[in-house]
Chain A
Amino acid sequence: MVFRAIVVSAALLVSASAAYARDARSEAKSQVEFGIRMAQNQLWKEAAYRWQKAVDIDPTYAAAWNNLAIAYEQQGDFENAAKAYEKAVELEPDNLMIRQNYDLFKEINDRTKRRNDR
């Protein structure tokens, strides 16, 4: 009897957390979509705000980290851009688009670093 109760409550817990994750992702996704519209209108600060909000809601959302990195890059904040790209790559190492963005960023970042070190 006790065992059955434990199994039932565990199942409820798992389904509740899955539903919560789904909700978090869909909420984060709406922030990401809004951010994309802002970026397309060159409103990068607003876009960055939305994508930051998206990763706060769902820190496992690789696309949101990727977009946030691009926003940082556009604003010249290379340190935070690098951190955001690294997070995106860590979450989705096989995503070629994230890799391509990161490689392009690294090329500029490395060149700037080399010049500053000179």
Chain B
Amino acid sequence: MTARSAATIASLVVLCGSLACTSFYEIPIETPIQPKMDVSGFSRVLVAGFLGGGTDDVDANLETVRLLRSQLRSKSSLRVVEAEVLPLAELAAKQGQAAGDSNGVAASPGGAADGQQSTAQASTHELRIQNEKDLERFQSIFADVAFWKKLGEEYQNPLIVTGTVLFTPHRDAGMVMQEREWYDQFGRRRVTPVRTYMERKGFILTPKFIFIDGRTGATLYSEQFREEVLYNAQQNTPALSTYFELMDKLIPSFLNALSTQKIRGTRVLLK
């Protein structure tokens, strides 16, 4: 027996020995995350509308309502109410005017028709939401219990989903790590990380989801998120696809407010 074959046999013996000592089995698991709210009292959900703004490239109200309704339809047990998307900013502005005129009478949640009427009253400039400060002017609508109760009555007391969505353009410049590709003297491909100055642009998405009890008009739960993405300034990514990219990251957390979500992973069982 040569020294080489002896070494091979010895290493095989060691390998077999170590495998016998450490028997393990990788197994896929699904960890259930309990919902943050008890929605057992509701059979229907109404995604009413959002105070949306930040950019003119995306209608944050309309897109958010569409996306959440489609997600809830496929991933929750609640029946999704199909209704007109509420122009919440217009209703809130109208409500503000009414409050000024006659000491806080709530605006009618009658939907788009009322909203269109109020558009004539409130100028486009007043309704424009560009940042957090602009949002503050309309936020009082979420505390208007009578408004949400009335809306709930119209749709047979569902769970109401509303809130705010700011989708703002963002620019940034600074040093970033990039991978530089090069070929050495033998023609082999090499990749080296290098620090480079770069101008980047993208968007920041800050939605706040508010869950309201349609039977009472009271807020049950609310949660705010923040996601951002930056691309190379030369890259031309449509605002709408960036919006969906960022919302994709938040949707599991949104759904987890209403229903159990499962996180897939693997663990190692030992013997």
Q: How far is the CA of A104 from the CA of B264 in the complex (A)?
A: 11
Which chain A residues lie closer than 8 Å to B256 at the CB level?
Answer: 115
Structural contact, B271 and A76, CB atoms closer than 8 A: no
Structural contact, B33 and A76, CB atoms closer than 8 A: yes
Structural contact, B267 and A73, CB atoms closer than 8 A: yes
Structural contact, A97 and B268, CB atoms closer than 8 A: yes
Q: Given the known A-B contacts A74-B30, A108-B31, are A101 and B267 also in contact in the complex, defined by CB atoms under 8 Å?
A: yes
For B29, give its contact among A32, A62, A66, A73 (CB under 8 Å).
A73
Size range of the chain A interface in the assembly:
20 to 34
Which residue of A is nearest B34, CB measured? Answer: A76
- Digit string of A85-118 for contact with B (CB within 8 Å is 1, else 0)? 0000000000101101100110010001001101
Which chain A residues lie closer than 8 Å to B270 at the CB level?
Answer: 32, 62-63, 66-67, 95, 97-98
Q: How far is the CA of A29 from the CA of B270 in the complex (A)?
A: 10
Query: Does B193 belong to the interface (CB within 8 Å)?
Result: no
Q: How far is the CA of A101 from the CA of B27 in the complex (A)?
A: 11
CB interface residues, B 11-28, toward A, < 8 Å: 22, 24-25, 27
Structural contact, B27 and A39, CB atoms closer than 8 A: yes
Structural contact, A36 and B25, CB atoms closer than 8 A: yes
Query: Shortest Cβ distance from B268 into chain A, in angstroms?
Result: 5
Query: Does A48 belong to the interface (CB within 8 Å)?
Result: no
Which chain B residues lie closer than 8 Å to A39 at the CB level?
Answer: 27, 269
Structural contact, B25 and A70, CB atoms closer than 8 A: no
Which chain B residues lie closer than 8 Å to A9 at the CB level?
Answer: none
Q: How far is the CA of A112 from the CA of B31 in the complex (A)?
A: 11
Query: Does B118 belong to the interface (CB within 8 Å)?
Result: no
Structural contact, B29 and A67, CB atoms closer than 8 A: no
Which chain A residues lie closer than 8 Å to B120 at the CB level?
Answer: none
Residues of chain A at the chain B interface (Cβ within 8 Å)? 29, 32-33, 36, 39-40, 62-63, 66-67, 70, 73-76, 95, 97-98, 100-101, 104-105, 108, 112, 115-116, 118
Residues of chain B at the chain A interface (Cβ within 8 Å)? 22, 24-25, 27, 29-34, 36, 223, 253, 256, 260, 263, 265, 267-271
Given A32-B271, A40-B25, A115-B253, list of 13 further CB < 8 A pairs? A29-B271, A63-B271, A67-B270, A73-B29, A74-B29, A76-B31, A76-B32, A97-B24, A97-B268, A98-B270, A105-B267, A108-B265, A116-B36
**Selected A-B contacts with CB under 8 Å, 25 pairs:** A32-B270, A33-B271, A36-B25, A36-B271, A39-B27, A39-B269, A40-B25, A66-B270, A67-B269, A67-B270, A70-B29, A70-B269, A74-B30, A76-B32, A76-B34, A76-B260, A98-B270, A100-B268, A101-B267, A108-B33, A108-B263, A115-B223, A115-B256, A116-B36, A118-B223
